[in-house]
Structure 1
Amino acid sequence: MNSMLKANEWKVLRAASESLTIGDIVRKTGLKYYTVSRIIRRLRQKIKIGFEPLYLKMGLLPIALITSKLQGEPPPFTRATRKLRGKKGEFVLLTAVPPQKYIEDFLTLIPGRIEYIVRGFRRLFWTPNAKLTLYVKEKGCLEPKIRELSNIIREQSYTINIDSRDLDLPIEIDEIDLIPIWFKQTYAFLSLREISRLTRKYLRRVISHQLLSYHFRKHVRKLWAGNYIGIYLDVRDYPFKVLLLEGRDAPRFAKALIELPYFYRAYIEEDRALVTGQPTEAVETALKDIIKDLDVDLPFGELIMDPSLSKKVPPYIQYFKNGEWILPIEKPITTK
């Protein structure tokens, strides 16, 4: 299924999801700094480790759109686009983090027909410490605690339960705060000293290590939701899928799914949610049985992602002027 994870690798990953620095991992695991650094370098070749911001606290609203075929470039603040196919035809999944106050303007810039939208007032991602994830040391693999799924669903509330860290939003930020966030979303443990060196290349000006350190301590720490750990299956055997959920139980079902291994992200709104993952046949069979007893519908049925992906971290600093987010307005050019 996927490459084996050694016991120390799993130990490091569990700590990495809740650590801002390599030093934090060392303290949490009790392993030597050299050992942790070597393990992280090795894991980076096959596993995504990225800084996850509290977008709402930044004044941004994560959204997931199901659209018709795009007839042009996606607008600013787009995170990724991916082709989908299902029983109802071919679509595009577009994820983005536009400014919350400009959400309606942003939607007018989509160069395609919007079929469905989920506003991620709660955006969750899988972590190695998820309740329904079991590491099997003898096999070096992850297995789902599928028998416990129904209990976890019952424990969830029907509401979206906005992260308490997002309740006082947004906090005051400036463009320097956005620089380490932008770089660390690609790799969470990129040092501020290295980021300072990279600013000359990418921003055409040098931001000192001292200035970045001050802003990181003052603001960026407050904007951290944790680190995303992406452990993927072979896409040839287990294609990426989208579960678009609708109904009273959609939020609680989505919150439970993200506790399972190989489910990656969830966008949750009242009465609807969108979850991405690579469910195995055994998990899909179990989900079909469980969903029968829930108020959940899949309006698009099964949606399979095309392996090709257009993905990027939005260049936040380009869209932030004088302490505020801006949205470059340009009507999309579409073909009929």
Structure 2
Amino acid sequence: MGLIPSFFLFEDRGYDLKDFKKPYVTTIGKVLGEKEYFFVKATIPQEHLDEYVGIFGAEPELGEIGLIEYYWEPYSPLTIHRRNHLDVDLKNFIEVFEKEASKPQIFTITQRLPVDEIDLYIIKEKMKNPFKSLTSMGKIINRSQQLISYHFHKHVYPLWERNSIMIFQNYYRTPLSLHFLEFSDTKSARGFAKTLAYLPYTHIVLLSTSRPFLIYIGTILQERALDLMRIISQLRKKDYIRYYRFIGYVDPDYFKEYTISFRGVLRAGVWSLPATKSLDDVAEELSFPLV
């Protein structure tokens, strides 16, 4: 598709959510900690990378362009399925991490696949409801089921990497938190990213493609927080982790997720940058139960 996952952190200078509602943004959050920040996750057209940061009218404290996304999967080696809840197996965290870090990295060459407005509409609808039928999509936009099916199987399905599963929880009682970690090498960073994704309360792990650095957003339960900090301490002493920073807690009242930008962003099959448009003009907000 030619969209590059990216992340930006802005120190709050009296901003509001609407200041970051720009095309191609998929997540906006406000973080409360030593300082107050807004963070933005966006999927930026490759041809607009150089000019995109300026769309916010502010200089980010951190900008990472080019990220690999990791999500929790229910059949992970560090997830314990109990009768009424899920728990984590942190006793084996370092063992699993070292195993993941030792695995050879497999590089794959992917071809950029072109998309059109119908493809983007299907992706948007599947992001909102992965079980929505192609027939119902066709009826909404007055297109035949055959045409929608063709676009889905020929264009959308090859782009569909995975479905992610999210555990609904009360983010006022157990808020999401934002963490940055830098590692001694790319193998350690990749191994730690994969291991974090085995924890059931991980929201997302973002691994930089340009340096051994990752961004973690997840819920660290109070009864597990000390154990996880001890793991980070041990890996720091072993020189796996060079830098760790806790940014703060995500305020649920200022946390929004959006579909792919799909409306009015293509011109003759090429991504445009409609800088004057709001995110609400080109995308739709995803329902995100906070309690």
TM-score of the superposed pair, with normalisation by structure 1: 0.72
Which secondary structure does the structure 2 equivalent of 1:113 belong to?
coil
Deviation string 1:28-69 (CA, Å, 9 cap, x unpaired) is xxxxxxxxxxxxxxxxxxxxxxxxxxxxxx211111211123
Once the two structures are superposed, what CA deviation does each residue of 1:188-216 show, in whole Å capped at 9, x if it has no partner?
Answer: 111111112233xxxxxx22221110111
User: Does the 8 Å CA contact 2:118/2:148 hold for their aligned counterparts?
Assistant: yes
Of 222, 235, 244, 1:281 maps to: 222
CA contact (8 A) 1:175 1:317 kept: yes
Matched with 1:234 is 170
- Residues 75-224 of structure 1: matches in 2 within 5 Å? 75-87=22-34, 89-136=35-82, 139-157=83-101, 164=108, 167-199=109-141, 206-224=142-160
CA RMSD of aligned residues (A): 2.5
| Alpha-carbon spacing, 1:306–1:197, altered in 2? closer, same or farther (3 Å) | same
| Structure 2 match to 1:13 | none
Aligned residue identity for 1:183: E
Q: Give the fraction of aligned pairs with identical amino acids, expressed as a percent.
A: 25
**Matching residue's letter, 2:252:** P
Unpaired stretches in structure 1, ≥5 consecutive residues: 1-57, 200-205
User: What is the Cα deviation at residue 163 of structure 1?
Assistant: 7.3
1:262 offset after TM fit, Å?
0.5
> Is the 1:160–1:268 Cα contact (8 Å) retained in structure 2?
no
Judge conservation of contact 1:109–1:331 (CA < 8 Å) in 2: no
User: Would the alpha carbon gap of residues 93 and 59 (structure 1) be closer, same or farther in structure 2, given more than 3 Å must change?
Assistant: same
Q: CA deviation at 1:233?
A: 2.4
Amino acid paired to 2:169: L
Please report the TM-score for the alignment, with normalisation by the length of structure 2. Answer: 0.82
For the residues of structure 1 that align with 2:52 and 2:247, how far apart are their CA atoms? 28
Uncovered stretches (5+) of structure 2, i.e. residues with no partner: 279-291
Please give the secondary structure, in 2, of the residue aligned with 1:154.
helix
Find the aligned partners of 1:318 and 1:162 in 2 and give their Cα distance. 36
* Secondary structure at the counterpart of residue 130 of structure 1: coil
SS in 1 for 2:195: helix
Alignment match of 2:7 (pick from 51, 64, 70): 64
Q: Do residues 290 (structure 1) and 231 (structure 2) align? A: yes
2:250 matches 1:305: yes
Q: CA deviation at 1:286?
A: 1.7
Q: Which residue of 2 aligns with 1:263?
A: 202
Using the alignment, how far apart are the partners of 2:65 and 2:204 within structure 1?
A: 13
